Structure formats: C-alpha cells, structure tokens
Amino acid sequence: MKFEKSQKLYEKGLVHLVGAVNSPVRAFTSVGGNPLFIKKAKGSKIIDADDNEYIDLVLSYGPMILGHRHRKVQKAVKKALKNGYSYGASTESEIDLAEIVCSAFPGMDKVRFVSSGTEAVLSGIRLARAFTGKDKIIKFAGCYHGHQDALLVAAGSGLATLSLPGSKGVPEGAVKNTLISEFNDLESVKKHFKKHDDIAAVIIEPITGNMGVVLPEDNFLVELKKYLESKGALLIVDEVMTGFRSKFGGAQELLGVQADITCLGKVIGGGFPVGAYGARNEIMEQVAPLGEMYQAGTLSGNPIAMAAGIATLTELKRQDPYEQFEEHASIIEVILVETARKYKVNIVVNRFGSMLNPFFRKGEVTNFEEAKASDAKKFAVFFWEMIHNGVFLPPSQFEAWFLTSALTDKDIKKIADAVDKAMLAVSKM
Ligand SMILES: *Cc1c(COP(=O)(O)O)cnc(C)c1O
C-alpha cells in the first residue's frame, strides 16, 4: 500500500494549515506516521488520495450513519441547492427537522438548531444557568463536550491522545465554575453538592465515545437524575455522539432516563454542520426571542444542512437498522475477542448499539482512569496493520469505532481478516 499522494498533500498542507488538519483528532500524533488525505467515499468505503480503499469505521466520527453519499440524502441536498444556500430568515425545512427531532425525544418540546456539537453544548450550559440562576457545572472525567473553554478539562480523546490535561489559553476564570466527577461514581457527584449550593447542572455523555466506549453501570443515570431532582439541578445529556446511533432517538430512552436538556449534533446533519439543543417548553422559553438567554447564529438552520438532516433521519427511520447494528457490533466484538485470545493479546471490548472499540488492556474499562491505562503503543501497531489491510479506524485508542447501515457481510469478513493480521502484529511486539 502506497501513501505517496497523501504524503505530498500532508507536506503541502503543513504550510498553511496547522498540522495539515482542521481538527486535531485527524492528526496521527499517537499512532505515528502522517494523516491520510481522503478523495471520496461511497457507502461503507472511503478512498484516499492514493486510491487505497478502506472499510470506513470512522464515518466522520459518527455522522455518516447511512454510509457515504446515500442516494436519498444526495437527492435532497441537490434539490435544496437549487433554491438557495442561506437567507437569514426561516425556512419550512427547519420546522420539518424540528418535528422529527422532537418526536424522537420525549423530553423535548422545542429545539434550537446551531451549526456544531460544540455550539449545542455551550448553549445548553448557558440555558441551564439561565433557567436555574446558578453558575456551577459538573462534568465527568473523560467526557468530551466540544471545545468551549468551560468544559476543556479532563475532556477525553483529543486531549488524552495528545497527553494534555486541559488546554492552554483557557483562563482560570473560565473553568472556575467547572467541577469534575468520576464516571459511574455517584458519590463523586454528591461530594460537590455537599460543598456547593450553586450547581446549575450536571452534563454527561450517556454512553461515552470520547474516552472510547464506556457504559454507565446499571441505574447510574437513573440514580443521578433522581439525586439531581432532589437538589434542584438539571441533567444535561450530551447526545451529540449517541443521538440516533443506538435507536431512533436517544440513548437516554434506552437507559430509562430523561434529560432536562438534550444536546445533539453529528447524525442529525447527515454529514453537514448541524447541532441542536432542546428541552421542555418551560426551559426553552428562556431562549431569545421568547426569553432573555441570548444565543444566535448566521448559518443556524441552514437550508442545505436541514435538507440533509431531514433526508438522513427519514431514511434512518425507514431502514430501522438498529437490530442490524447490534448484530454487526456483536460479531465484530467476537472477532476481536477471539482473535486476541488466539494471539494471547490482552484486550477488552466495550460496545453499545453501533459504537464499539477494543481497549488494549487486561480488565474492564468503566471510567477514564481505566481507559487511560490502555496500551496506546499496541493500539498504534494494530491501527497501522488495519490500515494496510483496508480498514480505516480512528487514529486513537480513545475513540469509538462507528458502524454504518451500509456495512455488508463481505465488509465484516474483510474486517475479520484485517483483525487477524493486526493482532498477530501486536502479539509480536
Ligand atoms: C463530537 C462531540 C461534541 C462536539 O461536536 P462538534 O460538532 O465537534 O463541535 C460534543 N459532545 C460530544 C459527546 C461529541 O461526541
């Protein structure tokens, strides 16, 4: 496999782009080598600048749930393009996408569209503060909620991959109202409430994807919600990654919990920039123009992005691929576990719906500490062997792999062959 054109583009990209990437998670810092440049993609496959073809388990970090260039999404986008690109005024498409999203989330009467997951979360936090009149926020170590200042502490994959505790350039004042708790540890939440009486909300990834896939223990979210209600604090569920991934709607429903505020992104734009936050009427009425919490966006509810989102969610509902996801993920889990056993490599696989990943370590992963104790060097060897055998993975031990409804049995066979070679390579380290 040659990477000559990617290599040349990388060198050229370094001149005017930072690290030749526009998001650090795309850099190959922790796996070594240079990032691949992508030329095009179709269905479950992605093709790089050197015409190497891979089964894509990155899927743009989640959005491409139907696979690349789905016919119906492409048709909807082409149709929308004919009318205009952006107006600075409302369009019917925003109402249509809002109806689909609200119907899928029982706790959401109203929704506001924005242009990214980061924006959705920072607005959701502002809304929780506006509604409660309190300032402090609790987040969990290893959860990532976008790159807003207040939440760039103990923030999972991107930072963990680069071994950064937080980000430079974030003033102390910006994080002084951010408290950190441990995932799956309710006591670590209660501890903060004992010390502070001005906690507005707790924000959580219901199933984490940004320290790798970590599942909440039985009833963790239910107990958390119950506790927060007793304290008059809100639960913000960040479903930017999990929304529409494990069921049509959110992971919260599967976990038996209802958020006060839900944040969305990724899948709901079908590959175009869409984020959203929503809640019951009483909370959303705080948002301008109904209320006094200001939040705005020149390109919010962009008609092309709305068209892609509507087409994606409509097709997703029609396909109802969630049983298939469960089946495919469990097959891939078995492939990983059995191959690792064959070559005597220690791994543990976590999965939920269409998200999964192996951690190279012995013993379970239930929080950030355990995730961080994985062997990133082994992952790096595994990663490159998978690339050389035609499977594109996120270039980090701390990222979830994603499945698309376009994945075929033939693809899975190819993944199995690649895993065999990759585990063998790891066993020889
Ligand atoms: C990706 C992600 C974000 C940030 O979304 P962007 O569109 O990258 O700004 C926030 N929260 C979670 C859980 C995410 O996975």
Write down all domains in the chain, each with its CATH number in brackets. Answer: 4-65+321-427 (3.90.1150.10), 71-318 (3.40.640.10)
Contact 207, 366 (CB under 8 A): no
Residue with tokens 């506790």: 227
Nearest CA to ligand 1 atom 6: 117
Q: How far is CA 262 from CA 10, 116, 122, in A?
A: 38, 14, 12
Distance separating alpha carbons of residues 156 and 79, to the nearest angstrom: 39
Q: At what angle do helices 376-388 and 409-427 cross, to 10 degrees?
A: 130
Residue ranges, the chain, pLDDT below 70: 156-165
The residue from 54, 136, 225, 238 that is catalytic is: 238
Instruction: Tell me the best of 23, 207, 240 to mutate to test the pocket of ligand 1, counting ligand atoms within 8 Å of each CB and taking the most.
Output: 240
Residue type (1 letter), 414: K
375 is catalytic: no
Distance separating alpha carbons of residues 60 and 57, to the nearest angstrom: 9
How far does the centroid of ligand 1 lie from the alpha carbon of residue 272, in Å? Answer: 14
Instruction: Tell me the best of 21, 125, 266 to mutate to test the pocket of ligand 1, counting ligand atoms within 8 Å of each CB and taking the most.
Output: 266
350 DSSP β-pair partners: 357
Pairing of strands 234-238, 261-264: parallel
What contacts 161, CB < 8 A, 6 or more positions away?
Answer: 24, 25, 29, 30, 376, 396, 397, 398
Alpha helix (H) residue ranges in 271-408: 281-284, 303-319, 322-342, 368-372, 376-388
How far does the centroid of ligand 1 lie from the alpha carbon of residue 169, in Å? Answer: 20
Distance separating alpha carbons of residues 333 and 330, to the nearest angstrom: 5
Contact 345, 360 (CB under 8 A): yes
State the pLDDT at residue 43: 98
The whole-model pTM stands at 0.96
96 is catalytic: no
State the pLDDT at residue 175: 87
Pocket of ligand 1 (CB under 6 A): 116-118, 121, 144-146, 205, 209-210, 238, 240-241, 265, 275
Instruction: Tell me the best of 121, 252, 264, 354 to mutate to test the pocket of ligand 1, counting ligand atoms within 8 Å of each CB and taking the most.
Output: 121
